[in-house]
Amino acid sequence: MSCCESSEDENDPQQGNNTIGGHHIGSQLRNNYAGQRQIQENSNTGVQTAVQLPLSLNFFPHASNFQVETINNAGGDIVQTTNNYNYMRTDETIEMLHILKEKLNPITNPTRKKDNCMEGTRVEILNDLCNWVMEDKTTIAWIYGIAGTGKSAIAVSLASKIRDMGKEVILGLTFHCVQGQETSDISNLVPTICYHLAQAIPEYGQRLCQIFEDVSLRADGIPLAEQLERFLQSSLLNSIQVSVKVVIIVDGLDEWGVKSDRAGLLSHFQTVFKQLSWLKLVVTSRPNREIIDIFLHDPAVKQVNLTDYISTNHDLRRLIVYKLPAISEDNIKILLKKANSLFIWITTALTFIEKGMDIEKRLGQIIGLQEQNSNENQPYQALYLLYETVLEESFSDPDNQKYFKTVMRMILTVTEPISLWMLGKMLGTSEIGLSPGVTSAVISQLSAVVYDRHGKLYYHLPFGEFLMTPENKFSIHPKIAHLQLAGACLEIMGKELRFNICHLNTSFFKNKEVKDPAIEDRIDLYISPELRYSCSGWTRHAKEAKVEPAGNTIQLTITDFMRSKWMILWLECMSVMGKSFSLKRCLEDISEWAKINKNKDAETLAEELYRIADTFGTVFFGKYTTYLPISIANAVPFQSIRESAVTAYQKPGHGKTTQTWGKNSQKK
């Protein structure tokens, strides 16, 4: 699968010279991303329809009385996803969902895996599961197998089939847990299930709203056990009369949380789902011990073991013949034996063969791989040997190997998938210094193991695990990447952060009340993807890097950043992006980093800002962003920040906001 560049464009450079901690910040850039490809989804059902909107709506879908007549649309189609809910949304339902979105803070689009089963494969499993959905005997299905057995593809295909089953069945949610991304965070799963269940069953949503009548209660601020007890309790669901089947699919549960989290979640699910004939749960995972202990011997759980499934080799054969029509029967048998029922082995090998200039030569390389005796303790020996063969083909040269490690360190370490274009921007910072051309060249050689989906780069979990094993020459040390990424994020923030970054004209309106264009469109227009990532991710990377190597200047850079106007501008940017409730997590990260590095100044400031965010979060960080910097500057303990925040904004266009803040706040 080929990787392609993102369609995001960079425009309107604005020059400036700034320095943070000795790092030259260079020219400040203003990026326009209004024309990029967008994915808009009301839910995560995966039904996608290309929508051709008027040009003004393509650029500013939330704007009113606004037309664009002289700008070319270079962004491509907008993809819109719809759900199969069988009710008309009333004003009351819309208001209910608005309240729940604010209180639950769900992941509104957790469906990011699109690879389904090839036509004609996994037919028996999928038909069996569709029949199970309509039965009342059991309400939980567990699909399990080691990595690479096709669990996610089955989850995607099952979701598609459920959407086609008619009005008697509603697909409530497909949630793909991906390690290191927001879907693996324990605080996100239960609120997301609740929000999408409320979309499917409005009566449940109305009862959730009653729970949230306590205005201070927010789902993402309480422990997992309390989330389950408050929002997915048996008494709350049992009293609801539902005439349809509602299906929730949780894919890759082994990549979510830690063992104790998974055990607690599944134990609660067992109790709740067994009492409800209308609510069905499908879980896919590796056969981890904590999941086996709960599901394996429970007769009320339908179990599908992919490793032993009798039709697997038949499906793998179909895939081989589809990709290599001229392959001999003998070679098919050899490939099947080497694959050992792993779809990921076959797909990796076939992609490697297909992408070669000499297909016969590459097929010979794969056929000639030494036999591996995989066992329960080492199930991926054959797969790891295949990965090594793929990488040796392009990265045996020491320089190429160095470039490979630099690129893959970044891909494995980022907190969310990024585009090839953004990868080049991050790697091109002075902290790392890899040219975009080299980055693209490396990615082009990795098509068998790194793939592009909707402009973002992904990799299979076993490949990441292979690169983390110390006994191969391609092994990667993530702490180095966290250190580099922290520096890259700080450099990007120094270039692109600025006061009133979204060009808001007044302090009288809340962020959500901003119009022409709306706040969402202003974010797309004025805050580049790399700045969004940097603002959200720099503290996590600093924390994961822990103690810096001797001679690295990142500690000085972070300290200078936190003692200057950049810290205030970061708070403003986080607020306008709607990340106000991530601030406390970010400040906890930086406080922990400061303690490890014995940086008392940074620790004190982080703790002060945390207290401010905890006390005044919904006022300072969620509503009136335009005067946020001055209000926060007056509250922080360091005089250097207060002075830089005030003096920096006493310039044309900023003075009015600064001088009239108190007056505006009193009026509001």
Given pLDDT bands bounded at 50, 70 and 90, which one contains residue 73? very low
Answer whether 300's CB lies under 8 Å from 138's CB.
yes
Tokens read off for 625:
């962003």
Note the pLDDT tens digit of each residue in 341-393. Answer: 889 999 999 999 999 999 999 999 999 998 876 666 677 889 999 999 999 99
* 13 within domain boundaries: no
62/515 Cα distance (integer angstroms): 8
Omega before residue 517 within 30° of 0, cis: yes
In a domain, 261, yes or no: yes
The total domain count for the chain is 2
Rounded Cα gap, residues 127 and 310, in angstroms = 15
- Looking at per-residue pLDDT, the higher value among 23 and 119 belongs to 119
Q: Which residue has the higher pLDDT, 330 or 666?
A: 330
Q: Closest Cα to residue 655, out of 464, 533, 525, 500?
A: 500
Element spanning 141, H or E:
strand 140-144
- Give me the pLDDT at residue 600, please: 87
- Hey, which residues does 245 pair with through a beta bridge? 169
Does position 99 have pLDDT exceeding 70, yes or no? yes
For residue 55, give the nearest of 42, 66, 43 by alpha carbon: 66
Long-range contacts of the stretch 394-403 (C-beta < 8 A, 24+): 394/445, 394/446, 395/445, 395/474, 400/442, 401/473, 401/474, 403/434, 403/438, 403/441, 403/442
Mean pLDDT, residues 566-581:
86
DSSP codes joined into one string, 221-261: GS-HHHHHHHHS-HHHHHT----SEEEEEEE-GGGSS-HHH
Task: Determine the pLDDT at residue 609.
Answer: 84
Report the pLDDT value the prediction gives residue 178, as an integer from 0 to 100: 86
Q: b/e string for 630-645 if b means 16 or more Cβ within 10 A? A: bbbbeebebeebbebb
Identify whether 2 is part of a domain: no
- Of how many residues is the chain composed? 668
Structural domain including 597 reads: 505-524+544-667
Question: Which residue did the predictor score with more confidence, 510 or 298?
Answer: 298
Task: Give domain status of residue 35, yes or no.
Answer: no
Note the pLDDT of residue 441. 96
CATH number at residue 209: 3.40.50.300
Residues linked to residue 458 through DSSP beta bridges, in sequence order: 451
Pick the last residue of a domain from 280, 305, 330.
305
Is the predicted pLDDT of residue 26 greater than 50, yes or no?
A: no
In a domain, 634, yes or no: yes
Closest CA to 378 of 146, 148, 144: 146
Query: Comparing C-alpha atoms, which of 593, 649, 581 is closest to residue 621?
Result: 581
Q: 19 pairs with which residues across the strands?
A: 24
* pLDDT score of 512: 74
Distance CA 474, CA 457 (A): 19
C-alpha atoms less than 13 angstroms from C-alpha of 17 in its C-beta half-sphere: 0
Strands (E), 443-538: 450-453, 456-459
Mean pLDDT over residues 335-339, rounded? 93
pLDDT at 131 over 80: yes
Q: What is the pLDDT of residue 652?
A: 43
Determine the pLDDT at residue 636: 54
Close Cβ partners of 161 (under 8 Å, ≥ 6 residues apart): 126, 130
Average pLDDT along the chain = 79
Query: Which tens digit of pLDDT belongs to each residue from 469-505?
Result: 887 899 998 888 999 999 999 999 999 999 889 988 8
Distance from C-alpha of 617 to C-alpha of 632, rounded to nearest angstrom: 11
| Domain boundary pick from 270, 305, 340 | 305
* pLDDT for res 27: 32
Q: pLDDT (tens digit, 9 = 90+) per residue, 635-662? A: 555 554 545 444 444 444 443 333 333 3
Q: Which residue has the higher pLDDT, 14 or 416?
A: 416
Asked if residues 143 and 284 have their Cβ atoms less than 8 Å apart, the reply is yes
Which is more confident, 652 or 141? Answer: 141
Q: Is residue 520 in some structural domain?
A: yes
pLDDT of the residue at 598: 86
Provide the token pair at 605: 């400031």
**CB contact set of 387 (below 8 Å; sequence gap of 6+):** 348, 449, 463, 466, 474
Q: How confident is the model at residue 52 (pLDDT cuts 50, 70, 90)?
A: very low
**Per-residue confidence band for 618, with pLDDT thresholds at 50, 70 and 90:** low
Other beta carbons within 10 Å of 595: 13
Select from 305, 327, 346 the last residue of a domain.
305
How far apart are the C-alpha atoms of 323 and 335, rounded to whole Å?
13
Is it the case that residue 552 has pLDDT exceeding 90? no
- What pLDDT shows up at residue 505? 82
Strand, coil or helix: what is 456?
strand
Instruction: List CB contacts of 44: < 8 A, sequence separation 6 or more.
Output: 81, 108, 109, 110, 111, 173, 174, 175, 196
In a domain, 419, yes or no: no
- In terms of DSSP bridges, do strands 48-51 and 78-81 run parallel, antiparallel, or are they unpaired? antiparallel
Q: What are 305-334's pLDDT values in tens digits?
A: 997 766 788 899 999 999 999 999 999 999
pLDDT of residue 533 exceeding 90: yes
Q: Kindly give, in sequence order, each residue whose CB lies less than 8 Å from that of residue 655, ignoring residues fewer than 6 positions away.
A: 649
